Structure 1
């Protein structure tokens, strides 16, 4: 049906009615061209949509393949990286007690010593001695290989600048010197620490004096540790040792005082327990020939501010020295040094015996003889005299050696 037929059928005059035939044809062709243009436009839109779908599908496929490549490359990207060589700048690192290999790895990464925790863990596992790494403060290097880091942690020299060793029998004056020379603390720092009894945990039994309470041991000095921190650690160690030995708090000071004398009087630990027994016997012999006096050269010397040599007759006769146990019965006012665990154990568990005297007769081996009477002691002392005649170079040097000098006339007259 043509457009003219449509309008005729519905009884309406066509818009072109009455118009010339040529004019109607032109308009018809124009409308037909417009319809064709619209159909081409719709086809172009459809084609564009199809192309877009194809392109997006292709992009998705490429992205999927790329993701696979990335995932496949991840193991290579997470391979442990490591520095090489011995490192660059010094760095102070503190390893805490109970630290595992993983803990140490994290600490070293944070301090920029090693590149990754994984690198250190591998080096730690590869070194059969790594379990021997101790807690403490070390001087390491930044940007060093993990293997070298493990090696330095196993090298005692890496800790030497940060460790303080207190020997058995050391006095508080000697400990102070070590704190200043090794720890780098000032005289005022140490004196303040000694005086701050609350901060260092010094018990009332000590009477406010740290003498005898600075436990012999090796201490780690952390980078930010104060003198008070280090002294507190020493006092804590002494308290732990006394508690572990079963000493009651009321006996703390007496045990440390006796043990400090034992430590000073003989250089050979073999005789510690016998010397401890002599001390107990003399303290109990108030009505006997010793009159309850210890008569120990080591205590006299301590009161004189010395740790070596032999006191003179005048010094032994000086009753103004509160530590002169030739003149004053009983124990001296305080310990005369910091005793080690062996000396403490000797005092707690002395052997049975009625000895009142002892003398070291060989200053090289430390051989010591014990006596129950003054006469027997005189005989034993003659053996020391004979030894010194045969070894004048040893005995002449006794005054320069605290342990030798202190044992030369030990046990009184």
Structure 2
């Protein structure tokens, strides 16, 4: 009896220590707690949870890749890891590391570019908001190569850097950022069926984008855009053709800003001086948004040849068919201007 008790006790002790050894062998090494310090970790496009686990181990975030693999599987997030940069801590538990890899915690910055900015102003805004050198943006824009510009842009970025809000990560350089903007333009052009509709209107896609940029620059409100577009078409299609006489194009050629050209401005020999030359200027004068592109493709029906922003503060624009009506609107503008409106 004593021998049996001793044998059973021995087996029990051996089983216990065997279990403890097996548990330690199966359970991967892991840190405890939240960790300390900071380290930037990048999840690259196409990486699996196993790849990410190894990256975290290599950078000293988790103690073992296996611990992270177990933690992310336990949390049900193996397939939800998203590319981007994340701020992690050194020597943190695998479970805490999983929490910091939430897509909403990616290191990123939203950069918003409003409609109607000239390319020079767009580049300045990008440099300011991203902290990257303006000169680098200018060099990439001037080259135009590798940005995915459509053939009808003729290598020029003006008009095709689509205004929107973009998610910028620290590793994105000027070329990558500008490419994203051109990609967004191409998506919009496809959605709007730009090339086919331009052809139906008797214009090239580049001409439509030029018209859209003028519409964007000249319109005080979205509701005016279709009418402004109609004025442009009426002038282009009149017999004999009439000059566009747009201050926005003239100012662009002079690299100036303003809503009223001086007599000296009108003498400019720039090809953007639509007071001097018939037809459209050589290309877009700004980066129009989708509303302006839609207006250029679908102008409002009407017989207007003139428009005047009679109240610049309230952005009130009125339209006229005859020169007599135009002169009345111009007089209204002068009165409002004198009254501070």
Point out the structure with the larger helix share: 1
Pairs within 5 Å for 1:7-406: 60-68=11-19, 83-84=33-34, 88-89=37-38, 91=40, 140=87, 142=89, 149=100, 153=104, 159-160=108-109, 163-248=110-195, 251-287=204-240, 291-318=241-268, 320-390=269-339, 392=340, 395=341
SS at match of 2:165: strand
Which shifted more, 363-372 or 249-258? 249-258
Give 3-state SS (helix, strand or coil) of 2:166's partner. strand
Aligned counterparts of 2:85 and 2:178: Cα–Cα separation in 1: 20
Q: CA deviation at 1:217?
A: 1.6
Shift of 1:70: 6.7
CA distance in 2, matches of 1:147, 1:197: 41
**Contact 2:247–2:261 at 8 Å: present in 1 too?**
yes
**Cα distance 1:222–1:328, how it changes in 2: closer, same or farther (>3 A)?**
same
After superposition, the C-alpha distances for 1:298-355 in whole angstroms (9 at most, x for unaligned) are: 000000012335220121133x121011111111001001001111111111121111
Cα drift, residue 109 of structure 1? 5.2
Match of 1:29 in 2: none
TM-score (norm 2): 0.75
Separation in structure 1 between the aligned mates of residue 124 and residue 89 of structure 2, nearest angstrom? 32
Q: Secondary structure at the match of 2:189?
A: helix
Alpha-carbon offset, residue 175 of structure 1:
2.1
Query: RMSD of aligned C-alpha atoms?
Result: 4.3
Matched residue SS, 1:243: helix
Quick one: distance in 1 between partners of 2:221 and 2:168?
30
Q: Which moved more, 1:164-173 or 1:276-285?
A: 164-173
- 1:358 is paired with a residue whose SS is strand
For the residue of structure 1 that corresponds to 2:324, the secondary structure is helix
- What is the SS of the residue equivalent to 1:368? strand
Maintained 8 Å contact 1:302/1:336 = yes
Q: Is the 8 A contact 1:166 1:218 kept in 2?
A: yes
Provide the secondary structure at the position in 1 that maps to 2:112. Answer: strand
TM-score norm. by structure 1 comes to 0.64
| Unmatched 5+ stretches in structure 2 | none
Q: 1:92 to 1:72 in 2, by over 3 A?
A: closer
Q: Determine if contact 1:137/1:223 at 8 Å carries over to the other structure.
A: no
Deviation of 1:220 (Å): 3.0
Residue 174 of structure 1 deviates from its aligned partner by 1.2
1:185 Cα deviation after fit: 4.0
SS in 2 for 1:88: strand
* Count of aligned residue pairs for this structure pair: 321
The residue that corresponds to 1:399 in the other structure is none
User: How far apart are residue 282 of structure 1 and its match?
Assistant: 1.1
Task: Select between 292-301 and 180-189 the one with higher mean Cα deviation.
Answer: 180-189
CA apart distance, 1:72 = 8.3
Cα displacement string for residues 168-207 of structure 1 (whole angstroms, at most 9, x for unaligned residues): 1111211222343334444552343124434112233112
CA distance in 2, matches of 1:387, 1:107: 69
How far the C-alpha of 1:265 sits from its partner, in A, is: 0.5
1:224, 1:182 → 2: CA distance? Answer: 14
Shift of 1:56: 8.8
Q: Which has the larger radius of gyration?
A: 1
Q: 1:349 to 1:94 in 2, by over 3 A?
A: farther
Deviates further, 264-273 or 338-347: 264-273
Which deviates more from structure 2 when the two are superposed, residues 349-358 or residues 176-185?
176-185
